[in-house]
Chain A
Amino acid sequence: DQQVKQNSPSLSVQEGRISILNCDYTNSMFDYFLWYKKYPAEGPTFLISISSIKDKNEDGRFTVFLNKSAKHLSLHIVPSQPGDSAVYFCAAFQTGANNLFFGTGTRLTVIP
């Protein structure tokens, strides 16, 4: 059973607007969350992360929000750029474990 879920397989956004990618998880023991970006024919690359002791982490145009009570996190990209078009994976883990659980990914298309 998927412990990390990304229910939107795809998202299209106009250049300059905000992109919001969502992720839900079921395991309340997860205490760290990461977002990876993947271009075609390349491996995933790390984008941003957040610890469960925080509810927000910002890095330039990218902000991740965590709502522990709802077991939900989101990635905001502002402003969106055509180069942001990629598949975004949400991932989560529990301290002490050796597995990073990935969501199924959301394909973001930023329209110029």
Chain B
Amino acid sequence: NAGVTQTPKFRVLKTGQSMTLLCAQDMNHEYMYWYRQDPGMGLRLIHYSVGEGTTAKGEVPDGYNVSRLKKQNFLLGLESAAPSQTSVYFCASSYFPQLNTEAFFGQGTRLTVV
């Protein structure tokens, strides 16, 4: 049982480059989320999706785009990477809104923008 899988695990980008982070879950969860974790700060919600074909902005959405074309996949895109986007990115999914139940997290993607 894979759970939530993030690809890639590590990436170094040059300023201005673009990339896409892939999140895949095999639990048939409706809800999916992208978070970033920075030193001295808690995890912050970037974007989320409440179902296939839907996306919404979270707390820190600027500089990112997302797509949920298939229920099991949630993609996070950086169109023009900036050093401020150096962070560890976590994807999560849940069956219900994670308001009152647990979310399952991927192992994280460490992104460095130079």
Contact = CB atoms under 8 A, between A and B. Distances in A.
A43 B90 contact: yes
Interface residues of B, number: 27
Contacts of B21: none
**Chain A interface size range:** 20 to 34
Contacts of B97: 98
Interface of B: 4, 35, 40-45, 48, 50, 56, 58-59, 90, 92, 97-108
9 contacts: A41-B107, A43-B92, A43-B108, A91-B42, A93-B99, A95-B99, A98-B58, A98-B99, A102-B44
Given A45-B105, A98-B97, 14 more contacts: A2-B41, A34-B102, A41-B108, A43-B92, A43-B104, A49-B102, A95-B99, A98-B48, A99-B59, A100-B45, A102-B43, A103-B42, A104-B40, A104-B42
